[in-house]
Each structure stands twice: as C-alpha cells, then as structure tokens.
Chains A and B, each alone.
Chain A
Amino acid sequence: MPTPTAPSPCWPRWLLVLFVFLVLVVLPWLTSGYVGRIVINACRNLVLALSFDIVGGYTGYINLGHAAFFGIGAYAFGICVRAGVSVLLAGGTAVLLTALFAALISYPFFRLRGPYYSLATFGLLKLCEELALTLSGLTGGSGGLSVLWPENLMLSYFLHLGLAVCTFLTVWLVSCSRFGLGLVSVREDEQVARAFGVSVSWYKCAALVVSALPAAALGPIYLSDRLYINPGEMFGLETALMPITMAILGGSGLLIGPVVGVVFLSLVQEVLWTQLGILRLASLGLVLALVGLFMPGGLVRLPPVYTRLRRWGLVQEG
C-alpha cells in the first residue's frame, strides 16, 4: 500500500489518550455501578486481548490457550492467600509462577506451526481446566476457590483500569521497539528472520513471557473483585475465545486493533443484549462471520478507517 507520510498532528497524540484516560478516571463519580461494571468487563477483555496480540498478532502464532495464564495467575493467587500469604506477596508469586510457566512451555510449543500450535495451546488450556477440577484438594475442584473479603467496586474499577493502561503501555513499547520489529519479522518469514540474525527462539520465548505477564496480573485482580472462581469460568470457552475474537476482529498486529475490537464488541454486545429480544447470539455470530469474510484484517484495516487513523497518528506501520 503506498504510504504517504502522515502529517504531524497539531498537538501530541498522547494528549488525546490522556483525555480519554481522565474521563475514565472520573467516571465512577459521574455514573452508576452499572457503567462501572461495563468498564471493568471491557478492561478485563482489553488486558487479555492486548496481551494475546503480542504473540498472536506480532509473532503470528495464534495462542488459543492464552486464558491459561489468566487462570493460573488467579488460582495461584487464591491458593497463596488462603494459605495465609499477604495479598501483595501472593500477587507477586502468582505473576512470577505464571511467567515461569510461560517460559517453560515456550520452547516445546513453538516447534509447532500454524493450526498445530493453536490446537496444542488449546489442549493446554483444557488440560489446565481438567487439572483444576481434579486437584480439588489444592484448587477446591468444582466447588471453586473463594476469598473472604468485602466487595469494593471502586477499588476493583481502578485496579482494572490501571492494569489496562499498563498493558497498553507495554504493548506500545513492544510495538515501537526493535524487539517488536523482530517479532514481526518472525511472523512474516521465520527462516529469513533467522538468516538476518534474529535469534528466533529467544524472541518467541520472550514474547510469550511478556504476553503472559498482564494476563497473570489480571488473575489476582479478577479474583479480588469476584471473590470466587471455578475451573469452568477461568478456563472455559467464553473466557478463552472472546478476547481473542475481539483482538482479531479489531485488527490483530496493530496496537489500536485490540482496543477497537474490545470497544466495538463490548458496545455491540451491550446493545444486542439489552435491546434485542431474540437471537442475540446468532446476531453476534453473524457480525463475526461478516467481519471474517470481508474484513479479515480487522476493522482497523478497513481502508477508510485505516487512512483516517493514520492521519490522526493512531496507527503506525507494523
């Protein structure tokens, strides 16, 4: 695609982002718990979608089991807390353990390609679910894991928002850096990348670990909000597929893609579920199928949307 140089905006991009951020910060004082919950759910999906995209979009390996990091982080946190460990230490342990797990599985799994990789990682996710169910002495099995402290919507809101912002910054840093460039080269052609001196295995491992960190951090935050988790919820199909669908639908491989995808699908779902009386799921399915057929690069790569976003400096070639 011919690339005219984008005109420099008359004020920095970050001001725009800051503005949105400020609105979100004051939101709790302007609206009700309902809107707060919508934003929380959106932030959760955003963290998972953005972190998924580091591997799925930039590296090109669709990790269907990405939610495993989320689930493992939540369970590790819950188990530590119930064992009497302090909250902060438990959270840190959870994130560290999950990162270690990601590092361990990266080498063997990355030997697989394309659909093999996707299905193997999905198999890993299901394995985690079954293990969480089976090792009931540790995880509470089907009874689930509960933490006993009072609900605090405000705190949950800011924790979710904070993590979403951190994840966004992380992915932004990756996309701007040489590391990100290396990942993209792996996606385009792994052998050529290796020939050019990119240490492919190391890059892929690092990418997986970096993508695991936000998801792992979301685990404790989610458990602190919900106060109760169980295997079906953490490792189930909805938790696994929805953020991935949002990232792909928005535009996988571009920073703003998952953001657009999350916002778009959250809006669509909210409207569908409160306004339509019937066939809501079918309508959602229809939307997904249409996007897949006609805009597989995602909403963000639609020519009119793409050029406008480039002009506003929200997208860079990636």
Chain B
Amino acid sequence: MTALVQLLISGVLLGGIYALAAFGLALIFGVCNILNLAHGEFLMLGALVCFLLSHSLGVDPFAAILLLMPLFFILGVLFERGLLRAVVEKTGHEQLTASVLVTLGLSLCIEDIARVLWGGEEKGLYYSLPPIVLGQGSIVISSVRLLALGCIVGITLVVHQFLTRTYLGKALRAVTQNRRGALLVGVNTAHVGLLTCGLGTMLAAVAGVFYLLLYSINPFIGLPLTLRYLCIIVLGGLGSLFGSLVGGVILGLTEVFTGYLLNPHWQETVAFLMLVVVLLVRPQGLFGRTQT
C-alpha cells in the first residue's frame, strides 16, 4: 500500500518535470508550427549558466532562476528574430526540411561551443532540501521535486490567466488555431512569434535549473531531450498546452509504475510505446484538435 502511494507521488512529480520542460516547447510549436530541435540546447544552457553561477559565485539556484528568466527571454527573442522567422516564412516541404537543417545545425553549434568553453565532462550541483516524510518514514516526498511541480502548476495558472485575460494571450491562441485567420483579424503574428519564443525559451531554462538540481548535465544532453519532449507534446496533442501538461504527468506515472511492476528496462520503453500507440489510435494526440 505504501509502495503504491510512493509510486503515485513519484510518478506525478516526474510528470511535473516533464511538463515543465515540454510546456515551453508546446508554446513554440503551437505558434510557429515547426520542428524545433534546438529547444533542449536552451534547457542545457539554462542549467549550465545556473551551474556556473552557483559553483563559482555561490549563487543560490532559485535566485539564479530569477536572473536567468529575463536573460533567456531575450535569448529566445533573438533566436526567433534571427533564425526561426526565416524558417517560419517558408512553406510546405521546404519549411519542414529547413526546420530540420537549421535547428539541427544550431544544436550542433551550441553543443560544441559549450564543450570547448566549459568542458565536456559531467557537471553536478549539490542542493538539498529536507524531504517531507509521512507514515513513519515509509512515504517520502522530495521537496525539490515538489517545488518543480509547484513551479509548473504556478506557471500554468499564470499562463492560463495570460491566455484568457490579456490581448496578447488571446492573440497567441488565435495564431495557434489558425495563423492566416489571425493575420486576417489584425493580429501581429511577428510580435506574437517573438513573445512566444521568448517565453518558451525562458521556460526551457527554468526546467534546466531543475534538471541540474535533480540530475546532472553535460553539453550533449540537448538533442536527446528535445526529441523526448517533442514526443511528449505530440502525445498530449500539438497545439494543446493543457495536453502537454497532462501528457507529461501521464507519462511520468506510466513510467514509474512500469518500472516497478515489470523492470527498469520497460520503464524507458513504455514512453515510446505509449507515444506510438496513442498516435495510432488518436492521430491528433490526447487533447489535440483534429487536423485539417
């Protein structure tokens, strides 16, 4: 019984981390609608910057998040203006091929430069908060993971308010639903694109900080992570921000339970198995809209 509860908690917390990382990608994908293979690099860079600040200057990681957020917002904006817009403005097959080439090329550049500047070896940071212990030690909730979950819940609420109450938020949703239609009603898609990329990149960097606190990083984690998070948001349904959150949590729960009931190998397999099965049964993902 306690094992069940512990598994549930772990699963939800793991899902929270997935959701945090995938949410930014879902935003960018929803608005720009292109395959962005470089997203994981911003997660890695966020984690790296936090590591450098904490390690060399002793800055508390959560304080570092406050510093990182504006920095990566600007970086995201530059990324959109400099590279992504050129790709978004292409059409059809060309757009797909361009998105693969450009974002893959950027990923390789960032990885290599990070390796040359800061070394290719693994980097870890010590950060510990006392866990919440229930049931005389049999159920333990990690405080850092709970914070990550709290973060994503908080961000979701804020973004939800933003999307439903503000003009820019509604404009963003409009572009996600139908780019041309949004243009027709006078939405400045260029501004929306800038804002979204800034936001999405900022969220990736925040996810990176949690990644550093819970795991460890090296310059090459970007690409595999990007592909994994892309799979998560496709599972949840492209264009549905809520879907990426739920998709993340569902995946977290499934992984943890599979690992316990079967074995750790199937834990990693189940993620992609689920993706393939869900897409075959429901091509638009769990919460996506049917494609035209």
Q: Which residues of A contact B (CB under 8 A)?
A: 60, 62, 108-109, 111-116, 118-120, 122-124, 126-127, 130-131, 133-134, 187, 237, 241, 244-245, 248-249, 252-253, 278-282, 284-293, 296-298
Contact = CB atoms under 8 A, between A and B. Distances in A.
Given A134-B266, A292-B87, A293-B102, A120 B276 contact: yes
Interface stretch (B4-12, B141-149, B230-238): B230-238
B106 A289 contact: yes
B159 interface: no
A16 to B, nearest CB: 28
B148 to A, nearest CB: 24
Contact of A127 (B100, B101, B272, B280): B272
Contact of A296 (B29, B101, B265, B291): B101
Contacts of B276: 120, 123-124, 127
Nearest to A244: B100
A289 B105 contact: yes
A124 B106 CA distance: 25
A118 B112 CA distance: 26
A208 to B, nearest CB: 15
Contact of B101 (A108, A114, A133, A289): A289
Contact of A122 (B227, B268, B269): B227
Given A241-B104, A292-B101, 7 more contacts: A118-B35, A134-B265, A248-B101, A288-B101, A292-B99, A296-B98, A297-B97
Contacts of B190: none
A289 B96 contact: no
Interface in B226-269: 227, 230-231, 234, 238, 265-266, 268-269
A256 B111 CA distance: 32
B96 A114 contact: yes
A296 B104 contact: no
A170 B16 CA distance: 48
A111 B97 contact: no
Given A116-B234, A252-B93, A285-B112, A245 B100 contact: yes
A237 B226 CA distance: 12
Nearest to A285: B108
Interface centre among B83, B86, B99, B105 (most CB of A within 10 A): B105
Interface centre among A109, A292, A293, A298 (most CB of B within 10 A): A292
Contacts of A252: 93, 97
Contacts of B93: 60, 187, 252-253
Contact of B231 (A108, A122, A285): A122
7 contacts: A123-B234, A123-B279, A278-B116, A285-B106, A292-B97, A293-B83, A296-B97
Nearest to A284: B108
Nearest to B35: A115
Nearest to B284: A116
Contact of B283 (A111, A131, A187, A241): A111
B266 A123 contact: no
Given A187-B93, A237-B224, A280-B112, A292 B273 contact: no
A285 B104 contact: yes
A279 B86 CA distance: 25
Contacts of A290: 105
A290 B102 CA distance: 7
A136 to B, nearest CB: 8
B251 to A, nearest CB: 12
B179 to A, nearest CB: 14
Interface-centre pick from B34, B223, B280 (highest chain A CB count, 10 A): B280
Contacts of B116: 278-279, 282
Contacts of B284: 116
